[in-house]
Each structure stands twice: as structure tokens, then as C-alpha cells.
Amino acid sequence: AQQDTRPHIVSITVTEDGKVLFDRDEEPTRELTARVKTQLEDDPDTVFVVRGDRKADYQFVVTVFDALKEAGTRHVSIATETGGV
């Protein structure tokens, strides 16, 4: 059997009002590091894609990156918006 080599991708979204969504589940920021560590135990090559609402306070996005770093994440991408102004 051929092994699926595509990475597991987890989306982390910071909403306009500062809420953090882990995939589509709201996640308190204080618990984000533990949630990321659990995901990495399941799949160390997980890719985390961070999306920040353009109206979100940048500090909330920084908090997400701090949690990812603390958890030992190796693969992080930043999603950007394309299209209209």
C-alpha cells in the first residue's frame, strides 16, 4: 500500500474580535500551546496555517505565533488574502 505523504494541515484563525479558531473550533489562547502539542504528538509534520482577520489586533496574531513556537512547531505558514481591495 502506498503511504499518503501529504501533510496534515491545521488552520488557526484569529477573528476580528480576537477569538482564536483551531480548524473551526474556538480555542482559548491560554490552551492553544497544549492543543498544538497534542496535534504534533499525533503528527509531528503537521503544517499550521495562520490566518488573521485584517481588523484583528496584531497582538492576538503574535500570541498565536508564540504558542506555536512554545509547542515546538516546525511547519508554519501565513495565509494572505488575494483579490479585491
Q: In CATH, what number is assigned to the domain containing residue 67? A: 3.30.420.270
- Cβ atoms of 23 and 62 within 8 Å: the answer is no
Q: Does residue 64 lie in a domain region?
A: yes
Residue 23 lies in a domain: yes
Domain assignment present for residue 1? The answer is no
pLDDT digits (tens, 9 = 90+) for 12-65: 999 999 999 999 999 999 999 999 999 999 999 999 999 999 999 999 999 999
Residue 40, domain member (yes or no): yes
Count of domains for the chain: 1
Can you give the pTM of this predicted structure? Answer: 0.85
Q: Is residue 85 part of a domain?
A: no
- Asked whether residue 73 is domain-assigned, the answer is yes
Q: How far apart are CA 71 and CA 16, in angstroms?
A: 24
- Alpha carbons 63 and 28: distance in angstroms, whole number: 11
